[in-house]
Amino acid sequence: MTAIWSGLRTGFAGAAALMLTTVLPAHAEKTITAVMHSGLRVLDPVITTAHITRDNAFMIYDTLVALNSDFEVTPQMASFAVSDDGLSYTFTLRDGLKWHDGGDVTPADCIASIKRWMQRDGGGQMIADRMASLEATGDKTFVLTLKEPFPYTLEAMAKTSSLALFMMPERIASQPADEAITEYIGSGPFRFVTEEFQPGVKVVYEKFEDYVPADGPPSWFSGAKDVKVDRVEWVTMPDAQTSINALMNAEIDFMEFVPVDLLPLLEGMPGIQTEVLAPLGSVTIGRMNFLYPPFDNKKIRQAALMAISQNDVLTALQGNPDYFKVCGAIFGCGTPFEFADGSDTLTSGGDIEGAKALLAEAGYDGTPVVLMQPTDVVTIAPQPVVAAQALREAGFNVDLQPMDWQTLVGRRASQSAPDDGGWNMFFTNWIVPEVSNPLANVMLNGRGDDAWFGWPDDPEIEALRTDFANAVGLDAQKAVAEKIQAHVMDNVNYIHLGQLYSPSAWSDTLTGVEQAPFPVFWGIDKTE
């Protein structure tokens, strides 16, 4: 583990040191300066599921409904009423909603935003399949009418990620869902400062003075989003040691992820707080491209899964077992749908010889596996290195290609052949809430070109997800979820690599830092 991070530090030390002298701004009256897990380049939260894009979106956009820390759907921009037959959902916008350019939020804006989201999100697609109409019924009201009940409707609209349903002005939301937006106007608590945006380097947000917080106490992404500072600035520092030094020297205020092997540098340090802010943790996964050899072959996908050990990956990633859990449940350990069917080799150390036998049976011809490796995000840099070694031991011809995370985020959207700018495999992480049920988990979408990156055409899993949506009661849902667990492990829709817990660190000049699945900056105050 130490060797991995040492290598990363060597590669980035010069550039990161330069960033410290050229990027870090002088503090305004109240400015929070944060180092997030990645630089930001892709800004459209409908185009990508990248977490840094989602995090940016929660700063500047708001949602119709939201999840609180008890996983309850609550009103946010709008109250809602559901008809007795479960077919009509009436939304009423609350008073005081303004866009950052001064316009009023209207039902037409919300309808356009919902329709664009429905084209890309798995839950949204399932709502669209059942939708009879979506139309305004007044200056502040609109109604979603379904052809058949879909009990998951509000949960899909309230989810925090993959893809969250953000409201945008109609003129922006009318952009085709496969074309990135170029204007970033929201109605959320912060305003995106376009003129100060440096892609991959720096993002600046200013308090939106006309924002009217929702009623109720803040809880995750629901309730009052009360901004207490003037600005929030995200600066990119690929080297964790540099970020730690900057935090200790009061040059930054917040560090989203501290590598576990470097955590002792901060623990007990006067003026610094450390804590795992997302107690449910995250899962780490490997995703294959179903469109091209070799992973268009199920047996070869099974061989790859069989070769890889969760413990090897998690040890390289976190080091300290206090911060990871070997866990075969694709919906996360500690969730209602914690099943481990089919995960034996993953959780018991892998089976290289079994993988070799499967490759031989499948007739693997040595087709290269283009495996993308992000080098600038500490929480996803080790996984491809460990996986590449395991795959090579099993007999795969691995082409490990290093790149920064934002390049990977752009490249994984390409359906080009692997030898023409495409790819075969990449790794990423998800917070547990966004994979904790079969409809929220974007990697379970089996709709081919309309699925998440990798594009599996999997009618069986789509039928199972429909069964889950129609299941009444937790016991019935569990029965379907267990079938999905077994199917995913057999079909290898992705490789589930276990659960991890990542500590954050911040200056004690910040107050109001709360637990949430990912950082929120409303409710935080700063004293100089």
pLDDT, one tens digit per residue, over 140-168 is 999 999 999 998 899 899 988 878 999 99
66 touches 76 (CB < 8 A): yes
Q: Is the same domain home to 314 and 381?
A: yes
pLDDT, tens digit, for every residue of 198-220? 998 999 999 999 999 998 888 88
User: Does the pLDDT of residue 278 top 70, yes or no?
Assistant: yes
Arithmetic mean of pLDDT, 325-350: 95
Q: Is the same domain home to 384 and 450?
A: yes
pLDDT of residue 130: 95
Q: Domain span at residue 486?
A: 282-500
User: Does the pLDDT of residue 20 top 70, yes or no?
Assistant: no
Question: Which is more confidently placed, 358 or 474?
Answer: 358
pLDDT of residue 18: 42
Q: Is the same domain home to 288 and 265?
A: no
**pLDDT band per the 50, 70, 90 thresholds, residue 176:** very high
Whether residue 53 is contained in a domain is answered as no
Residue from 23, 77, 86, 106 nearest 214 by CA? 77
Cis peptide before 368 (omega within 30 of 0): no
Task: Please state, in angstroms and rounded to a whole number, the distance separating the CA atoms of residues 442 and 456.
Answer: 12
The DSSP secondary structure of 146-197, one letter per residue, reads ESS--TTHHHHHH-SSSS--B---HHHHTS-TTS--------SSEEE-GGG-
Q: How many CB atoms lie within 10 A of CB 217?
A: 9
Whether residue 514 is contained in a domain is answered as no
Q: What is the mean pLDDT of the chain?
A: 91
Take residue 83 and report the two structure tokens written for it: 């008809």
Integer CA distances (angstroms), 19 to 108, 204, 259, 380, 413, in order: 43, 16, 20, 22, 29
**pLDDT band per the 50, 70, 90 thresholds, residue 71:** confident
Q: Is the same domain home to 236 and 347?
A: no
User: Does the pLDDT of residue 3 top 90, yes or no?
Assistant: no
How many domains does the structure of the chain reveal? 3
pLDDT of residue 17: 43
Whether residue 79 is contained in a domain is answered as yes
User: Does the pLDDT of residue 9 top 60, yes or no?
Assistant: no
Take residue 361 and report the two structure tokens written for it: 């049976």
pLDDT of residue 160: 86
- CATH of residue 139's domain is 3.90.76.10
End-to-end CA distance of the chain: 36
Q: Is the same domain home to 210 and 237?
A: yes
Strands 254-255 and 504-507: antiparallel
**pLDDT band per the 50, 70, 90 thresholds, residue 8:** very low
